[in-house]
Amino acid sequence: MKAELQRSELVWRNLRLTTKGSNGTNKTVLKGVSGSIEPSTMTALMGTSGAGKTTLMNSLAGRIPSSMVLKGEILLNSHPRSKDTWPNTVGYVEQEFHGYEYQTVFETLLFASKIKMRYEEVEQKIKNRIEEIIALLGLNNAKNTYIVNLSGGERKRVSIGVELLGDPSILFCDEPTSGLDSFNALNILSLLKDLANMGKTVLVTIHQPSYDMINFFDKFILMSMGKVIYDGDVRGCIDFFESCGYRLPELTNPMDFFLKTISLDTRTKELQGRSLDIITHISNEWRRKGKEPVPKLCDEVRIENAARRSSLGFSLLLNRNLKNYIRNVDYLKIKGFQKVFFMLVFGLAYLQMGYSIESIYTRIGGITFILTNVLFGVSNPIFNVFSSERQVILRERRSGMYSGIVAFMAKYLSETFINFLIEMPYVVTIYWMIGLSSDVSTFLVFLTIMGSLILFSIAYSLAIGAITSTQNNSQVLGSMGLLVFLIYSGSFNNPNTIPSWLRWVVWVSPMYYATKASVQNQLNGVVFESSNIRITGEEQIRIRGLDGTGVPLCIFILLGMNFFWIVSGALALHLTTKNNMKMELNDKEEV
């Protein structure tokens, strides 16, 4: 760790948080909460479900939704928090760690460190820092293990390690022991206590600590119904509850007793009223006896903002995306099997069509199948990319690692590389198997059309994934769009027969331009003959309503649509994963 540690004290006074309830009325979540946390201490923020402990932590960390109104005072070393220094002052360990499954522990930490640390730091210094943190976390035996193969306790440690890379002086931990057995839970608390002993200020939300866990904490903040019930050490808490008329029974875990006493019992109206009276009584007693927290530290917050380059973040994201793909061997095997399967089934069914009149329908059908297979084959797996990775992006953007636009472009380029690598050999093989034009220039133009369609499919599906919030929504919305594109592509009907008031849909369908360009590319200058009957390719193009706009313009329009969805998707991801940090507090609504 750094030789000179920034000491940080956080004091909050009379915090009130309101939000809109389901019926449209204002609901007060935090009700005049005050307290403090100091350097070299580890504080437990406790309460039953709905007590407001996580809400308080998020309020202190600046992570509340913009729809909520927070009033009161929060001071960092006697000064209001600043957006310039706050993100680098705090680390926030979320309850669930979200990371890329096929990155190792070392690579996960290396990625975060290269963005969080100053870029002039030499590579070896960064790696040495990571080795120190891995040793501190007790992850030496797992540093080359993929995230997907880690145990619950190891994932928690990695989550803490990612936050430690920025060397924050305040560490917020949301339920770090949840889902862990007692052994791993104690190990996590022991690690956090070690960090506190190094001078860090540690605040932990915890639901129901065991007796062994209590000893790790320097003090406890008990909450119920949005109010602070007690703030202090265990001995003081026992005395306080006893003074309120609630004596700790012998051989009882103090925290179990305290939480049971301040829980709202909703089983019956009578029990609810009785428990509400108890909570109100204890809360009023604490308000009467408790002292208003007064800041003790006035140290200037000295945080060096890392000089970050968007180009560095982009290259790191691109590299991580590609590695995650290449290491997902099961997915690549399935994808490869799928392509070989379709190649054989389709290629053999349409094998060397020839140029008889009977082959006209087959040739158009073959072109349609290739286009449809590329559009759906590329788009469908990508719809879920951002919905499955959104939590990772949110976590990293909250730490200020990169912008949503950079994340989108890195994903777009990685998807482009992978899909061209998979789709182009498939398209080339199918092209020659079914016997499309053997003219080299015609073949190259066809590949250009396919490449444009692949680019569009990637941009469209990534944009849909960025706009929607869940996998189901992205699949449903994205598939609806694909079907509309296909119906209005000109593959199954003459576009000129579509009702005039609906014909505009044809003009915005990328499949229309891909179909039109491909059919013109393959049929122009071609003659189909059987017996004494002779039909030109130009006649077929005109009959199907695919004449007019030439191949170059169709490709240009496809690329224009690709650009539109890139811009839309990048902006959507940037806005939907935006870090809406709320910092300024006063007697008016927070801005």
Give 446-496 as a DSSP string: HHHHHHHHHHHHHHHHHHHHHH-SSHHHHHHHHHHHHHHHHHTSSSSS-GG
How far is the C-alpha of 549 from the C-alpha of 516, rounded, in Å? 8
Whether 396 is covered by a domain: the verdict is yes
Confidence (pLDDT) at 117: 65
Same domain, 506 and 428: yes
Reading the block at residue 177, the tokens are: 């022991």
Residues 263 and 319 in one domain: no
Query: How many C-beta neighbours within 10 Å does residue 214 have?
Result: 16
Do 221 and 314 lie in one domain? The reply is no
Helix (H), strand (E) at residue 83: none
The phi, psi pair for 43, rounded to 5°, reads -110, 135
Instruction: Clarify whether residues 259 and 318 are in a common domain.
Output: no
pLDDT of residue 522: 92
Residue corresponding to tokens 């199907």: 544
Paired tokens of 457: 């499919």
Asked whether 198 and 7 are in contact (CB, 8 A), the reply is: no
In a domain, 169, yes or no: yes
Q: Do the strands 219-224 and 227-232 form a parallel or antiparallel pair, or are they unpaired?
A: antiparallel
pLDDT recorded at residue 588: 44
* Helix axes of 329-349 and 310-327: crossing angle, nearest 10 degrees: 70
In a domain, 477, yes or no: yes
C-alpha count within 13 angstroms, C-beta hemisphere, residue 529: 4
Note whether 540 and 360 are within 8 A (CB): yes
Residues 399 and 266 in one domain: no
The answer on 456 and 489 residing in a single domain is yes
Quick one: 210 and 321 in the same domain?
no
Q: How far apart are CA 230 and CA 44, in angstroms?
A: 11
Look at the chain and count its residues: 591
Strand-pair category, 527-530 with 533-536: antiparallel
* 160 and 191 fall within a common domain: yes
Question: Bridge-partner residues for 378, per DSSP?
Answer: none
Token pair 């909050």 in the structure block, residue = 12
Check whether residue 241 and residue 279 sit in a common domain. Answer: yes
- What pLDDT score does 428 carry? 95
pLDDT of residue 580: 66
Residue 557 domain flag: yes
Which residue(s) pair with 530 in the sheet?
533
Residue 584 in 3-state DSSP? coil
Q: Identify whether residues 258 and 321 lie together within a single domain.
A: no
The alpha carbon torsion through 488, 493, 495, 501 (nearest 10 deg) reads -70
If asked whether residues 265 and 399 sit together in one domain, one would say no
- Residue 56 CB partners (closer than 8 Å, separation 6+): 15, 30, 33, 45, 223
The answer to whether residue 297 sits within a structural domain is: no
Question: Does residue 298 belong to any structural domain of this protein?
Answer: no
**Shared-domain flag, residues 404 and 530:** yes
Q: Which two tokens stand for residue 289?
A: 């006896």
Look up the domain containing 126 and give its range.
Answer: 39-51+92-289
> Is residue 198 one of the residues assigned to a domain?
yes
Instruction: Please state, in angstroms and as integers, the Cα–Cα distance from residue 513 to each residue in 83, 268, 519, 559, following that order.
Output: 48, 67, 10, 11
What predicted TM-score, i.e. pTM, was given to this entire model? 0.85
438 burial (CB, 10 Å; 0-12 / 13-18 / 19+) is exposed
Q: What is the CATH number of the domain that holds 157?
A: 3.40.50.300
247: DSSP letter: P
Whole-number Å distance between alpha carbons of 170 and 356: 77
The tens-digit pLDDT sequence of the chain (591 residues) is 444 567 899 999 999 998 876 666 788 889 889 999 999 999 999 988 888 899 999 999 988 877 788 888 999 988 888 887 888 889 999 888 888 889 999 999 998 888 776 555 667 788 888 998 999 888 999 999 999 999 888 999 999 999 888 888 999 999 998 888 888 889 999 999 999 999 999 999 988 788 888 889 999 999 988 899 999 998 999 999 999 988 988 888 888 898 888 888 788 888 888 888 988 899 888 888 877 888 887 777 765 544 455 567 888 899 999 999 899 899 899 999 999 999 999 999 999 888 888 888 889 999 999 999 999 999 999 998 888 888 888 888 887 788 899 999 999 999 999 999 999 999 999 999 999 999 999 999 999 999 999 999 999 999 999 999 888 899 999 999 999 999 999 888 888 888 889 889 999 999 999 999 999 999 998 888 887 888 888 898 999 888 888 999 999 999 999 999 999 999 999 998 887 666 555 454 443
| Total of domains in the chain | 2
Residue 295 is assigned to a structural domain of this protein: no
